[in-house]
Chain A
Amino acid sequence: MTVLNARRSGGDGVLAARGLAVGYAGRRRRVVLDGVDAELNAGELVCLLGANGTGKSTLLRTLAGLQPALAGSVTLLGEELAGIPAAERARRLAVVLTEPVDAGLLSGYDLVALGRYPHTGWDGRLDPGDHAVVRWALEATATARFADRPVAELSDGERQRLVVARALAQEPAVLVLDEPTAFVDLPRRVELVSLLRALARECDLAVLLSTHDLDLALRWADTLWIAGAGAGADAVAGADAGAGAGLRAGGPEDLVLDGSLARAFASDRVRFDVVGGGFAPAPDATAGATVAGDGPRAVWARRALERSGYRLAAPGDAADVEVRAHPSGWTLAVDGRVTEHRLLADLVAHLRAHRADARPRTRAPVGPR
């Protein structure tokens, strides 16, 4: 009961990190992520984003108690995580890891039933209540039809759902998933994330998952955690006041607008498109283009130009390339020459040929030796 009260009182959240530093202890001690202040609340889906090597997995393992923290504290339902016995911790928090599950001849049912581990006695015998929970977990993840099939025969996506069902069978308050969408095709990813959010809402579950899928995170997460958003990044109004140096937490839209997302992934070759909400190739700053018209034809013409390395200017501004979308195609004006194109591929090819003529060759000339 105390647990329930603690959760209702809100405050610190179901899982909270204060001044947390994660990384590897021992002789070659290495801090991967420092100064993490964040909390996870019941009923909330949080996506952890970050470029490779920013310590997402290390952070998740530390928050899940699978790896000791180097500094700071983690509390789970108001109790210090390190002080909670392993079995009790497993009744409060379940994980889905990146490593593939190779369960051999286990059936789907057996795999999910392993999630009852922290609830059963020394011999692991399942009572009717345990079986009911396993069936519920199978149904909640729509995996009941895999119950009798050997796990080895299932596809990656099907197996992943069973692994999630196994985590649910632990009946945790917190579910932590490390890149659950990595080996799953795009429609299955959306299915999985929408399932997780539904579970968060209906079971009052706190869900934390790391992902590389920015679009998915922006569309589905209640809160984003961005690892490596830049130490000492200026505090921006609207972002979580508790955001630490190594981790920035806030609403997805706020983090897009304040530039945290762009900073986290910034590089010379890509830039974050604040309007489109995705990453695009960095433009050649030299050539500008405008697109007139509206509707899908204009939108995709802009993307085609961006893909070809043009910087989009506002309509009416001076530009090297002007495109006008009209119902039967696109009109292209470049250096005073006007051409009509029915396909964007033709338009792009024309531009490429034009630029190749105009620009001095960068390839070494093949001359007599």
Chain B
Amino acid sequence: MAIETALPQIKGVKDVPYEELFVSGHRTCQGCESALVMRHMVKASGPRTIVLGSTGCMYVANTTYYTTPWVVPWMHTQLGASGSAALGTAAGLKVLMRKGKLKDEKINVIAFCGDGGGADMGLGAISATLTHKEYNCLVLLYDNESYANTDIQLSSQTPYGAVTTFSPSGSKKRLMHTRWKKNVPGMLAAGHPESRFIAAGCAAYAVDLMNKIRKALEIGGPTFVHTLDPCPKGWDYHPQYSQELGHLAVECGIWPLYEVIDGVCNLTGPTRQIAEGRKKRKPVYEYLKRQGRFAHFIDEDVEHFQAQVDKMWTDWLIPGVIPFTVPAKDQAILKIDKKSKPLHEEPATA
């Protein structure tokens, strides 16, 4: 019997494959959204997949010798090596198939990394991989916004002001961490015009995420998906609220969902509804107040956070994606007409 390798788009929850390829045998925390990303990822990709996992929670908590949750072949890679692991695996398969030493078939290659491994240490290698258009592979960055495996230290993905073990709130400094979160999928989409698919997703929108993974694997070449994963341990909230926090991150406009396919950017899910004006963006306070890592925030901090997010929605060329502000006089030259393109909210009236 031929193995089905085509990956059509999933129409709804009832259309999701039953087959589990990430099963018991791991010891992730209760409420771990990243574990859910892993499950959705291989559910979407199917059994003809090789997964490479760089060091981080999803390595250490998932694969303890004598047990493994991976039904598909899985191999560890180094913290900063997800891009190289994807590339090397894809190149190895390609040459063996070309020379007839391995059956010529479609094998999905997915390398995952956390925000530390992907947005910090391994960013260069991911960037390089996204330029090697002759190799088919996906790099998935599961972003729980800290080095959660090593005790919650801040990464370049930790949000402004959040408490981590490297950015505690103290009597002298209320906020130790004042850098704004690096815009990784936007940067990668802008900087790698030959990567045919780059997306931002969230496991709280499972079907949307699985479809993004399938699109990435079907379109071919090197692709990238970034997921925002609420983390009860790092974000300090009760594990039962992981899904809710994922929803809130999107609904407050902090984590826009989108995909860039062959250079065309589509906002997806509630992000599109907000941009179209069909849904009102919730204040960020709704999101911040639910998490212990922001418990030290005073009004001024919340206001700053809100102002930054607002700017993303009113000024950026594409909200959450391309962080350029185009001066009014140039909007005609650049053929930008915010009113005809329902990608922005109306700026608050002056």
A, B: real partners: no
